[in-house]
Amino acid sequence: MEELFLEVGAEDDRARLDIFLTDYALRNNLGLSRTNIQKLIRNRQVLLNSLPADKPHHKLNPGDTLRVFLPEKEKEGNLPEDIPLQVVYEDKDVLVINKQEGLVVHPAPGNREHTLVNALLGRGMELSDVNKGRPGIVHRLDKETSGLLVIAKNNQSHLKLVKQFSQHTIQRKYLAIVEGRTEFDEDVIEAPIGRHPVRRKEMAVSFAQNTKYAKTFYKTLKRFGNFSLLELRPFTGRTHQLRVHLAYLGYPILGDSKYGKKSGFSRLALHAQELGFTHPSTGKEIFFSSKMPAEFEDFIAKNSDR
């Protein structure tokens, strides 16, 4: 087991233990997130002045010594596969793809094959391993959702991108076709989301305890027939947020068998059209956009005269 020996300097006086170690891990490309660090502390794998430290929020003093027992790297069980990917951008740090509808992002119990992770491994590329079971995966799109997704090719890029997502500085815009003619040209949906009280695999707007704040901006781009084309910008990133918020308003996304009706469209009518973020190495803002899917255009054209 690899060990770290660190001494706290005057510049880190009163710093939190978990933040001090997370910053060190980021600077030295150790591939450990703050959650990983907190787990090490709670598992008594961090010694503070030769004694186990069990409080991530412990305030450090100059001269404190730390001994950190790093976890051993796990063997990967994911298999490479030759799955076509539409690459939008690639450099030594990041890869941006336009994910096709129907592609699961990462393996899970009962679904170990035919995922984006398998496709990435099939390209033989270096990927971050912050999360051993999901190499390269910084964020996800639902299987039924198409559109832009960024992948981290090393741990330093991974952690910097995760920080941007947690601070809500990532620029994201989605297109959705929903059932019904929206009442407002634009609006902000602020409604907390949590597990459905009965259908535990689903999420729901709920004002009970153990829910999370969620906020979505929408703009009506076009009303046609009994449908609306919307631009969506999520301020938060809750599971199924866009689908749950729109269903809550009474405008379920077409093709959504979980929160709306499966009929009416050949797939889930949700597409991640734009993505912008600060490049983890250069610090420059980069921005990507993709075309509206052809099936969206065809559906709008066929129903606009009704």
Active site residues: 142
Closest CA relative to residue 145, chosen from 203, 83, 101, 87: 101
What is the number of other CB atoms lying within 10 angstroms of the CB of residue 168?
Answer: 12
Closest CA relative to residue 187, chosen from 251, 240, 272, 142: 251
Question: Rounded to an integer, what distance in angstroms lies between the CA atom of residue 9 and that of residue 6?
Answer: 9
Q: Are 272 and 241 in contact (CB under 8 A)?
A: no
Label residue 295 exposed, middle or buried (CB < 10 Å: 0-12, 13-18, 19+): middle
The amino acid that residue 116 corresponds to is: L
| Angle at alpha carbon of residue 87, lines to 257 and 115, rounded to 5° | 45
What is the number of other CB atoms lying within 10 angstroms of the CB of residue 62?
Answer: 12
